Structure 1
């Protein structure tokens, strides 16, 4: 049986029968984007099943961490806050160029980790600008992970899913989204595998 992983929990083993990438594919490259370094780092640690990113200390440069999942290598590229309204065009270009270099020859998946109550129209436009810098097909490889709000209330999932900036981004990403609440690692990796399959196992050409 597959063992559940909490986002901050102790690493557990995946089911031996679980395989999320084609046999001929040995590495998966995932770019983490979103409006909270802490959230992105926590999700990155969840995927890697160990603490590699410090959620409390945001660096001023891109970080890359490699890990092993089911005899496959996964590469996570975590970025500083590219969605800040105060970031200069020059700094944004510098970070994106670094991210492109670190994901060479190209990313397979963009994981957009979003906090719904803090996600604004400006954030949405900034995400679109960042993804467009990677190429016109970036949204074909994007998966939205919606963080659990700080204060849950009845119907919050539907309310936030209909939040205009988030709703538009979900549509742009071909309705690929997951809720972080009660998320299982197997479920997330299966979605990664689906995106890889939809793109014939090819990475984004940079």
Structure 2
């Protein structure tokens, strides 16, 4: 009976180490699976970051290509507009009809401003009947007359004593800029009945300030024709040798206008003036007037326009750089935020992994302690069994001795 108990207890103690080994292997497998999962998540995160970087680079490249295309379109549009303007300018130079530039010159009080309003059919220029100069500086007004664009440049009185030489030079320069690339006609405005020595020298003044060839683009324009009473303009001119000499120096002849607020009273005077200007332009080869000064001014204007275009281009480039920098900074912020988020996730994963490892180690330690405790108990049981076995051996020996002694006595009695 005792032997069976010993065997059963021994088998029970032998099963516990096997269960502990299975638990250990199970935990090792779980740890391996967890690490595989972490590795898979890490690879997924790296793949996601790689795709984000590729997407960012792709967007940057698309933005760069889009800007290059925009610049190319702008350049092509500028080139198209430039060619169109050149073509229009060539056409204007051929015909002289699409766009006329008129410069009004004359002494103070001749009626230049009123003449400009009469030509354009409006009241763009300020008028005054006083002998004082109304136009203190060059002024430009534009309009459309008879289907063509007309620019009229009004100038201060060129013999005005209130205007200094320096100021007159400045106004002449303004006139060049306003009439660039060159006027089609200089209208020398003279009020009928007030022809003076100063006006006799006007053509020379035009030549001195605008160039020798300017006289071939000059036309005398009389104002105040309604004050001649019963005389015609032709009769008035025929009676003045000085006027005839002045007109002979001008390539455009002469014309007269009445600057009345009621344009319907003289409906033909402006069309006739424009017709004479057209004929003069044709005689001059369909070209507007130009000289070295106008060409210099034209170059300055073109250089200024080129400078402005360059500044605009640099400004756009600067804006693009700022936008790119802003995009780059934003992408950098997003990247940093994602890195921080990813690091935080990895940190949490690592903390969880360490916590799981700590728990696993704690459980392993507990299992080891339990195993050692079981082993200690098993050793204690084995020791007790051994002691019990020793006692049983002693009892058996005692019983054996008693049996031997009894047998000895029995044999002795039998003898």
TM-score category by the smaller chain?
0.7 to 0.9
Aligned with 1:63 (options 128, 139, 142): 139
Matches within 5 A, 1:184-199: 184-199=269-284
**Match in the other structure for 1:73:** 149
Kindly indicate whether the alpha-carbon contact (under 8 Å) linking 2:217 and 2:252 is maintained by their aligned counterparts in 1: no
**Displacement of 1:127 after TM fit?**
4.3
CA offsets 1:144-165 (integer angstroms, 9 cap, x no match): 1112357434446324443344
CA distance in 2, matches of 1:85, 1:116: 22
TM-score, normalization by structure 2: 0.41
Matches within 5 A, 1:16-165: 26-37=98-109, 39-56=111-128, 58-85=134-161, 87-148=163-224, 151-155=227-231, 157=233, 158-165=235-242
Kindly indicate whether the alpha-carbon contact (under 8 Å) linking 2:144 and 2:150 is maintained by their aligned counterparts in 1: yes
CA distance in 2, matches of 1:141, 1:61: 23
Kindly indicate whether the alpha-carbon contact (under 8 Å) linking 1:85 and 1:122 is maintained by their aligned counterparts in 2: no
Higher relative contact order (CA 8 A, sep 6+): 1
**Displacement of 1:50 after TM fit?**
1.4
TM-score, normalization by structure 1: 0.78
CA distance in 2, matches of 1:52, 1:140: 28
CA distance in 1, matches of 2:244, 2:224: 16
CA distance in 2, matches of 1:106, 1:129: 18
Structure holding more helix per residue: 2
**Displacement of 1:137 after TM fit?**
1.0
**Displacement of 1:84 after TM fit?**
2.3
Unaligned runs of 5+ in 1: 1-20
Kindly indicate whether the alpha-carbon contact (under 8 Å) linking 1:77 and 1:102 is maintained by their aligned counterparts in 2: yes
Alignment CA distance shift 1:120-1:86 (3 Å): farther
**Match in the other structure for 1:202:** 287
**Displacement of 1:22 after TM fit?**
6.2
Corresponding residue SS for 1:67:
strand
CA offsets 1:171-191 (integer angstroms, 9 cap, x no match): 101471113255622111101
Moved over 4 A (4+): 21-25
**Match in the other structure for 2:244:** 167
Larger Rg: 2
Alignment CA distance shift 1:100-1:79 (3 Å): same
Kindly indicate whether the alpha-carbon contact (under 8 Å) linking 1:64 and 1:76 is maintained by their aligned counterparts in 2: yes
CA distance in 2, matches of 1:85, 1:39: 17
Unaligned runs of 5+ in 2: 1-92, 259-265, 295-415
Kindly indicate whether the alpha-carbon contact (under 8 Å) linking 1:35 and 1:119 is maintained by their aligned counterparts in 2: no
